[in-house]
Structure 1
Amino acid sequence: MNSINNDASIEKETESSNDERYLVPGLIRGLAILKLFDQHHQEMTISEIAEKIDVNRSSAFRLIHTLEHCGYLRKMSQKTYALNSNVMELGFNSLSKSSLTDLAAPIMRELRDRVKIAVHLSVLEGTDIVFVSNVQSNGPFTSTVHIGTRWPAHATVIGQLILSQLSEAEVIKRYENIQDWKIFSERTPRNIEALLERLREVRNQPFMVSWGHFNTDMAACAAPIYSQASGKMSAILSVSCPLSTYTEDQFRGEVANTVIECADKISKFIYV
């Protein structure tokens, strides 16, 4: 009988999980403190933390002291605190066992739901880009790109973006035996010299857009995904749709910004 009552109680609590009465304010504030630290705020004082999470200095001290006791913050001096290694261990043990495609999948679905078009994940293999994950549009357009589809890297914004991180010597080596440079539009590099010039132009760009340059009736936008461990590109996040789906200004503006935002989100979880 007690077991039945306990199950009913747990089920009732689960149904009420969105009820703010069940929230723990101290835990919310503690997590908010951990999220304050980033590349630009690696150390902060108690007063700075108190101001950012909108509590008095005494409350901030108790929260910081608790996080320090649990190993999530460490005291750097008499006045400042920084993240401790336990924070990384919270997620790294599981993230390091997950594949790139597993980690990217929920954010790719989020991107699809926001821009309503097909989303792709690609890597570089030799002189080709290979699609390793796709999320179909939830509109009438169905992408013909499938997992395992290969496209020539030199001719696509996806490929040019990921090739741009390589040294010129490495690019030349990859293409030294390529005789047939397939041309898809006036924007396609026609030889190694033209490709190297294009890569110099796009190096360090946050995204690239193709407006009918590869498939003449299609638009594509690509943004890099970086490894936290090496700082290098691990993959490319991209979207594609018929040219009629968006105006070019919309595509280069709001769509591109959303792709960059989601690529940055994925990058935060990649350690390979």
Structure 2
Amino acid sequence: MSSSVQRALHILVELSSGPLTISELGRRLDVHRTTSLRLLRTLEEERFVRRTEDGRYRIGPLMAALSHEALEGFDLRTAAYEHVRALGSATGHTVHLAALDGDSIVYLDKVESRQSIRMYSYVGARAPLHATGVGKAILAHLDPQERETLLGTPPYRGYAPNTRTDPDDLAADLARIAEQGWALDDFEHEEFIHCVAAPIKGVTGKVDAAVSVSAPEVTLDRQGLLGLVGELTSTAEAISEELGWSRT
């Protein structure tokens, strides 16, 4: 790929998070102002970007239209479909795909366990952010102010004896999750079911979805559950890459 095309694509990725000035783009991309200006003018002519009245640049109408068309035929569940089924097949336990929806999470997909004991969860069901593995995996990567808004006034509702209802306790747990890259639901939503969950990242690195493996304690102990973390995080990364996320 030519360097000009690559830089132009990087500009579009940066602008996807909001309007920026030429100087701000230059600093983020480590390119000279004249280079940024030349690329922006070309993108503006083709309606991929638009210059606002205050001199900043934002995503333009053509880019927005292309994004809309792409999303019409491609969504998170589509991107994750084969991956969550491969994870279910590899682990033999219940796999959930969930996304942030308002102040809770909603299950978008589910792979049933091969065990005789089944979970009652279903696609379309909602669950709390602070008491589920998928919810905490998402919360750990949100801006603190956004997190507080979603969680509301503490103490948070308890669903099981281990639910983290204290804000400081939850904050410490979320810090650990952000550092290690995965979350543990230690019987916090349901008393006899635990799970591990990992965040799914979009093209800009934003996290608003997660994937998990859940099991009743009688079919999978703590050591066995934690032994699935490697397979889980690899699946989350594969889904993220399907959505356009890249390590670099």
When normalised by structure 1's length, the TM-score is: 0.59
2:219 to 242, 245, 249: 245
Number of the residue aligned with 1:141: 117
Which one has the largest radius of gyration?
Answer: 1
Amino acid at match of 1:251: L
Verify: 1:260 aligned to 2:218, yes or no: no
Amino acid at match of 2:237: D
Amino acid at match of 1:204: E
| CA–CA separation in structure 2 for the residues paired with 1:226 and 1:119 | 18
1:220 to 195, 199, 214: 195
| CA–CA separation in structure 1 for the residues paired with 2:88 and 2:128 | 25
- Counterparts in 2 of 1:168 and 1:151: CA distance versus 1, 3 Å: same
| CA–CA separation in structure 2 for the residues paired with 1:256 and 1:248 | 11
Number of the residue aligned with 2:35: none
Verify: 1:183 aligned to 2:158, yes or no: yes
Could you tell me whether the CA contact under 8 Å between 1:122 and 1:132 is conserved in 2? Answer: yes
| CA–CA separation in structure 1 for the residues paired with 2:154 and 2:225 | 34
Instruction: Give the root-mean-square deviation of aligned CA atoms.
Output: 2.4
1:152 to 128, 132, 137: 128
Amino acid at match of 1:233: V
Identity of aligned residues (%): 25
Could you tell me whether the CA contact under 8 Å between 1:175 and 1:192 is conserved in 2? Answer: no
Q: CA deviation at 1:238?
A: 0.5
Amino acid at match of 1:149: A
Verify: 1:230 aligned to 2:204, yes or no: yes
Amino acid at match of 1:117: H
- Counterparts in 2 of 1:171 and 1:243: CA distance versus 1, 3 Å: same
Count residues with an aligned counterpart.
Answer: 177
| CA–CA separation in structure 2 for the residues paired with 1:98 and 1:123 | 15
- Counterparts in 2 of 1:125 and 1:191: CA distance versus 1, 3 Å: farther
Could you tell me whether the CA contact under 8 Å between 1:117 and 1:137 is conserved in 2? Answer: yes
Could you tell me whether the CA contact under 8 Å between 2:100 and 2:138 is conserved in 1? Answer: yes
Amino acid at match of 2:193: M
1:204 aligned counterpart, secondary structure: helix
| CA–CA separation in structure 2 for the residues paired with 1:184 and 1:102 | 31
Gaps of 5+ in 2: 1-66
Number of the residue aligned with 2:5: none
Number of the residue aligned with 1:108: 84
| CA–CA separation in structure 1 for the residues paired with 2:162 and 2:180 | 17
When normalised by structure 2's length, the TM-score is: 0.64
Amino acid at match of 2:82: P
Gaps of 5+ in 1: 1-91
- Counterparts in 2 of 1:180 and 1:207: CA distance versus 1, 3 Å: closer
